[in-house]
Amino acid sequence: MFMMQFAVLFRIFAASIVAFLKHLKPYLLFTKFRLSFLVIISALSGYLFMGGSDLFVLLKLCLGGFFVTAASNGTNQILEREEDSLMKRTQNRPLVTQEISVVNAVVLCIVFLLVGSYFLLSINTASFLLGLGAFISYSFVYTPLKSRTPWAVFVGAFPGAIPPMLGAIAQTGSFGFIPGLLFFVQFMWQFPHFWAIAWAMHDDYLRAGYFLLPSRSGKSKQTALLISLYSAFLIPISLIPWLLNLTNIYSLIIVGALGVWFYFKSFRLYNLCDDSSAKKLMFASFVYLPVIQFTYVFTKVI
């Protein structure tokens, strides 16, 4: 009897969890939860690299960064909902499927921005201004430019590189060389990262009128060469913290090895010029960035 009652209760509990997740999924898609999580990881690395240790500040940084990023991602989907309906990879977004209305989406973005800004302002004014600048530049500069010019990738690299700088400034309270250096490393990483995505999704992007590869020749040797060159540039750039004695010799070994590995992924794309190699480079970029950022943290010179 007990086992039967337990089984009934378990089925009710499981059904409740499934129903909850079913209703939650559209909002996770709307905020691009996984992307927002990666932003938090980058911000966290910057905070820790600068010696941050206050758990309360850390919590406000994570919450502030998440909500401002969610507002940016949501605004991006509001502005691009027509284009999203044309692409296979975005046809299931909640504004396209009308699981979330445009009015509700606008309200959510306003709430997310206000909540995120509150948390960042409670850390310091510089963090608030940086978060607000990231939101405005991503939502109202980068997003409209995507359908007009491939230079949108360059513009989008600025708000995309802000997270580690935001984390650093949450600790220091002011702009400076080291926060700028962390910004620069992530800024340069974004070109091979995003161009790999643009290559793999090129045909889908064309359906919505986006052309985001660096060469008008499209998926060609010329484009692959540019991706490979930027990946090569990333090796010395990522080693600047070691060159400036901000990190120890282990940083040279780990970051250098990762840079060479990442470069060979891009060189494989140059050799083969195929979607499979572009996807492998894209996934490699997701591994590369957080690993080198936390290598900086764990190898910093005290």
CA distance 20 to 257: 44
- Tens-place pLDDT, residues 20-44: 345 688 898 898 888 888 899 999 9
Q: What is the mean pLDDT of residues 279-291?
A: 96
Q: CB-based contacts of 58: which residues, under 8 Å, 6+ apart?
A: 44, 47, 52
DSSP state of 146: T
Q: CA separation (Å) from 45 to 53, 121, 146, 227? A: 12, 20, 29, 26
Q: Are residues 271 and 207 in the same domain?
A: yes
- Tens-place pLDDT, residues 94-106: 999 999 999 999 9
CA distance 235 to 293: 14
Domain boundary at 175, 193, 226, which? Answer: 175
Q: Are residues 188 and 169 in the same domain?
A: no
- pLDDT score, position 25: 87
- pLDDT score, position 38: 87
Give the residue among 266, 72, 73, 295 at the shortest CA–CA distance from 182: 295
CA distance 19 to 223: 45
The answer to whether position 16 is within a domain reads: no
CB 232 within 8 A of CB 191: no
Q: Are residues 77 and 120 in the same domain?
A: yes
CB 67 within 8 A of CB 112: yes
The answer to whether position 2 is within a domain reads: no
- Tens-place pLDDT, residues 183-204: 999 999 999 999 999 999 999 9
Query: Does residue 245 surpass a pLDDT of 80?
Result: yes
Q: Which residue type occupies 272?
A: L
Q: Are residues 155 and 45 in the same domain?
A: yes
**CATH classification at residue 76:** 1.10.357.140
Q: What is the mean pLDDT of residues 152-181?
A: 94
Residue-range definition of the domain harbouring residue 300: 177-302
CB 224 within 8 A of CB 278: no
- pLDDT score, position 21: 45
CA distance 230 to 8: 58
What is the number of domains present in the chain?
2
Q: Which residue type occupies 201?
A: M
Q: Are residues 126 and 239 in the same domain?
A: no
The answer to whether position 15 is within a domain reads: no
Q: Mean pLDDT across the chain, nearest whole number?
A: 91
Q: Are residues 167 and 46 in the same domain?
A: yes
Q: Are residues 272 and 143 in the same domain?
A: no
Query: Does the pTM of the predicted model rise above 0.85?
Result: yes
- Tens-place pLDDT, residues 47-106: 999 999 999 999 999 999 999 999 999 999 999 999 999 999 899 999 999 999 999 999
CA distance 4 to 11: 11
Domain boundary at 155, 175, 195, which? Answer: 175
The answer to whether position 196 is within a domain reads: yes
Q: Are residues 126 and 248 in the same domain?
A: no
